[in-house]
């Protein structure tokens, strides 16, 4: 499915504009727009600027997701994964990175640190009612639909 054309504004000369690494990629790579390396100590969270802003059209959002390679090799993720960038946001994109690893991690200038998928969204009208319809699951919570351990 082809998504919308999205205006993007470079806010920093250090910015590397997002791009898809392959024809089949669902997310665009996001790069750190930093002048010098940034150390993220074990257990810490750092906001990493990307150096651009976008005008996402109504009915769409950007979902910012961690990179699987950074997560599996270094324990680097996002504390709010996935992060949402709403259609009406026009400020600089930044990525909060968290270091779940045992050692400090260095973010290098231009490093691929996350990915963004542009996804359709719907706003719904909520209708308050006194009762909800019954289902087989009912009020069963987490893990209630399976028998696995």
Q: What confidence tens digit (pLDDT) does each residue in 68-89 have?
A: 999 999 999 999 999 999 999 9
pLDDT digits (tens, 9 = 90+) for 110-125: 999 999 999 999 999 9
Q: Which residue has the tokens 């802003």?
A: 53
Over 70: is that where the pLDDT of 144 sits? no
| Statement: residue 23 has pLDDT above 80 | yes
Task: Tell me what pLDDT residue 142 has.
Answer: 73
CA pair distance 37, 30, nearest whole angstrom:
16
Q: Residues 6 or more apart from 148 whose CB is under 8 A from it?
A: none
CATH H-level superfamily of 8-120: Deoxyuridine triphosphatase (dUTPase) (2.70.40.10)
Distance (Å, rounded) from C-alpha 4 to C-alpha 78?
26
Cα distances from 28 to residues 51, 70, 120, 133, in angstroms, run 15, 16, 16, 41
Cβ–Cβ under 8 Å, residues 42 and 102? yes
Q: Which residues contact 73 (CB under 8 A, 6 or more apart)?
A: none
Residue with tokens 């949402």: 84
Mean pLDDT of the residues in the chain? 94
Tokens of 114: 């996350």
How many C-beta atoms lie closer than 10 Å to residue 120's C-beta?
10
- Domain locations along the chain: 8-120
List the one residue out of 65, 116, 90 whose CA is nearest residue 7: 90
What is the pLDDT, as a whole number, of residue 146? 66
């Amino acid at each position: 499915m082809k998504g919308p054309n999205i205006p993007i504004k470079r806010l920093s000369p250090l910015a590397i504009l997002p791009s898809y690494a392959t024809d089949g990629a669902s997310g665009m790579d996001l790069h750190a727009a930093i002048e010098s390396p940034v150390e993220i100590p074990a257990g810490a969270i750092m906001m990493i600027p990307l150096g651009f802003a976008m005008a996402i059209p109504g009915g769409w959002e950007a979902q910012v997701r961690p990179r699987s390679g950074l997560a599996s090799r270094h324990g680097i993720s996002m504390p709010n994964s996935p992060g949402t960038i709403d259609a009406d946001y026009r400020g600089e994109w930044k990525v909060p990175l968290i270091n779940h690893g045992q050692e400090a991690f260095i973010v290098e200038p231009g490093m691929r640190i996350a990915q963004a998928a542009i996804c359709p969204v719907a706003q719904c009208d909520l209708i308050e009612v006194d009762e909800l319809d019954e289902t087989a699951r009912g009020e069963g919570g987490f893990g209630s639909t399976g028998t696995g351990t």
